[in-house]
Structure 1
Amino acid sequence: MSVPLPDVPGVTHRFITVRGVRLHLAEAGHQDAEPVLLLHSFPQHWYTWRYVIPLLALHYRVLALDLRGFGWSDAPRHGYSGVSLSDDVVAVLDELGLQRTHVIGHDWGAWVGFITALRHPDRVSHLISVNMTHPWPPFMRLAPNLWRMWHTALMEWPPLGRFVIRRTGFTRFLLRHWVADKQLWDRDELDVFTDVVREPARARAGEQVHAAYVWREIIAHPFGGRFRTARLTVPTLLLGGDQDVVIPPSVLRGGGRNAENMRSVVVPGCGHLMPEERPAAIANEAVAFFAAPVTPGLTAAS
């Protein structure tokens, strides 16, 4: 990796090799405290949590993972399906000697979090999904909003996707487009993400993540997805932005037939990049959610 690691006070870094892939992990907080695993989205990496980490580190051991192909982790040619990325997560927990952890995921990272909670509920204490719907959105709510995913069409087709990611300013455009306040970004912060994703192997990884979702989840499982009959037993909180142009609040609803304990909270004045836009909202909701007693039968608003 030619791009240097950005500095966040109180954060240390290490590399863990699991399933033949060397993954980067940023850490902060109390070593003996409850762990919280943070999972980023495309086109970002661990640094998307830079404002959230110090807030959570006051209470927890915070672990911000770079998924394979992103940030400072290795970028092999294969292994980018949601299930494979979830297997990486579980392998990291094994390597760290952690039986259970809280998980907070943003967008793609939340999707990996859902898969992990569904396949390995004994490893996830609580799940918070940020700017991502659950796997069972009602079709009548989802269908009118499918156009909001237009950007994926430019990245899911090899080799077009890697060209778009590497050779154009498309990822920079997306990061600017997705926030409610267009003045949020400065050039240096955008560079931390766009410079990394332009590296050839990471551009290919971004393409592969999108392609795997379309071909292995949508095409292969056209009637509700791979997990349409699965049941989520892990307490789950959905956090959405009221100005999210990708995942609007309406598609956070439903899912009660598949989830035992799930609810949603809409954060005002927030777009699709809540870790940058409203980090305190994530931290405050997390602290309260992790400490609250489990309420069986609670589901997202319909």
Structure 2
Amino acid sequence: MTALNRRIRTRVGTLAVADHGSGEPVVMWPSLFSDHRLYDLVTERLGPQWRTIRVDGPGFGRSTPPRGDVQPATYAAAVVDLLDELDVDQSFVAGCSWGGQVAAHVAVQSPNRCRGVLMMNTPLAPSVGGHRPLIFGTRWLGSTSFWGRGVARSMIAEPTTRAHPGRVADFVAAFRSFDRTAAATTVQTVLARSPGLADVLPRLRAPATILMGAQDRLYPPADAMAQAQRAVNATVAIVQSCGHLAPLEAPQSVVDALESLRDRAAGPADARR
């Protein structure tokens, strides 16, 4: 898959970006413990009719490390900086887990720039404390394959591990390229200091889709559904045999969701003709 080819200065530092294609633009923000490569399989399936703008989130990959406790609302403003620099007027915004929080904030903060939002495996409720093993493990072991294998077991569903061991191996191998200190800062912020999306979801006006993994052990659908229903303009879908990383585990479901969002976003414009 084509690699990083842009470095773009934003209000949160420099974002490393893989920008490819010339069709419908979609910004893709990754989950914790991953970078732009999380969306390789999705990008392959979307094809040339989409322009995929895949970001390395600060703390993982080649973007500038986070400057302390940076919340998703601030990263959302940086996405707009990125769109400005790339001369993109409107874009779909997709995010997995932490990235889903960023995507939701983009849609609310800058509705004129966001055609639709896709949230995958996203923590919707506040995260205050908890997740201590992931926080301390990242602090001490965060840039090792050993830690990558542990995180993979907590995030990736067993059916994916059996059917696609190569995908899991690639996910684990990426850990060796992460800055442990930067990753630990991001993980602590997201897993222990996040206000959640309770106040954001009711303000979504762009077409939205919320994808949940039926086997997501970190954020099970049964726990997330009440919050998801606060997004009155969103479609909620549960992806079977999927854990916490839909772009890696169920890339075709992600492609289908983006294409459906594109159709929904086009509908009102067509109706006005």
For this structure pair, what is the TM-score category when the shorter chain's length is used for normalisation?
0.7 to 0.9
Using the size of structure 2 for normalisation, the TM-score is 0.83
Query: Which residue identity lines up with residue 119 of structure 2 in the other structure?
Result: S
Deviations along 1:126-171, one digit per CA (max 9) or x if unpaired, are 11111125459xxxxxxxxx9xx95x223557xx752242478334
Which structure shows the bigger proportion of residues in helix conformation? 2
Q: Which of 197, 206, 218 matches 2:186? A: 206
CA 171–192 in structure 1, closer or farther in 2 if over 3 Å, else same: closer
Partner of 2:250: 278
| Aligned residue number for residue 103 of structure 1 | 93
The residue aligned with 2:109 is: 119
Query: Number of paired residues?
Result: 263
Change (3 A) 1:81 1:90: same
Cα distance per residue 1:187-239 (max 9 Å; x no partner): 75134321122x244334334433xx633627xxxxx86x2695221211111
Give the CA RMSD over aligned residues: 3.0
> What is the CA distance between 1:254 and its match in structure 2?
3.6
- Structure 1 100/295 Cα, relative in aligned 2: closer, same or farther at 3 Å? closer
Q: 1:215 to 1:274 in 2, by over 3 A?
A: closer
Q: What does 1:84-233 correspond to in 2, within 5 Å?
A: 84-134=74-124, 152-156=131-135, 162-166=139-143, 169-180=146-157, 181=159, 182-183=161-162, 184-186=164-166, 188-197=169-178, 199-210=179-190, 214-215=192-193, 217=195, 227=199, 231-233=203-205
* CA spacing shift, 1:126–1:194, aligned 2, 3 Å: same
* One-letter amino acid of the structure 1 residue matched with residue 165 of structure 2: W
Cα 1:179–1:134, aligned 2, differ >3 Å: closer, same or farther? same
Gap change, CA 1:60 and 1:168, over 3 Å in 2: closer
Q: Distance in 1 between matches of 2:116 and 2:200?
A: 21
SS at match of 1:80: coil
Question: What amino acid does structure 2 have at the position aligned with 1:192?
Answer: A
Give TM-score, length-normalised by structure 1.
Answer: 0.75
State the match for 2:271 in structure 1: none
Change (3 A) 1:96 1:293: closer
Gaps of 5+ in 2: 269-273
The percent identity for this pair of structures is: 23
Conserved? CA contact 2:115–2:265, under 8 Å: no
Q: 2:44 aligned with 1:44, yes or no?
A: no
